[in-house]
Homo-oligomer: A and B are copies of this chain.
Amino acid sequence: MMELTRKGEYAVRGIIHLARQPYGNVALLSDIAEEAEIPQTFLAKIFQNFAKLGFINSYRGTGGGFSLARPASAITLRQVVEAVEGPIAPNRCVTQGGECDRSAACVVHDVWRRVQLQTLEILDGVTIEELARKSK
């Protein structure tokens, strides 16, 4: 239950691998995909999205590729996960504009809210830099 999808896993692995490059270095999609063991075309979609969101820069043509658009220490795990999976919420009633009409009546609401806040706190506290720094 409540599992990250492949896309989410790939997104995290992909950006970690990118963050392990020397800063400013432009890496090929094909290289990152191979290193991180991710289907290249799938990773392409994910990185396209990251580029739009300003996490990474993309360069086309010969010598092109991807690089981080800001220091890895300024990108949190939460940002990456939410970018691909959408807002983190253990159930519908705690999403922004959540359609929990029963919100008042919904006695489990606070519980889910607590789960959400705890999770966000953890994921906010982890940066891609920390993850990239770890061995391997």
Interface set of A (CB-CB < 8 Å, partner B): 1-4, 8-9, 12, 16, 77, 81-82, 85-92, 104-105, 107-108, 111-112, 114-115, 118-119, 122-123, 126, 131-132, 134-136
Contacts and interface: CB of A to CB of B under 8 A. Distances in A.
A87 to B, nearest CB: 7
A94 B125 CA distance: 19
B2 A3 contact: yes
B131 A122 contact: no
B1 A89 contact: yes
Given A4-B2, A115-B123, A16 B88 contact: no
B107 A123 contact: no
Nearest to A107: B134
Interface centre among A3, A9, A90 (most CB of B within 10 A): A3
A107 B90 CA distance: 23
A96 to B, nearest CB: 13
5 contacts: A2-B90, A3-B92, A16-B107, A77-B111, A105-B136
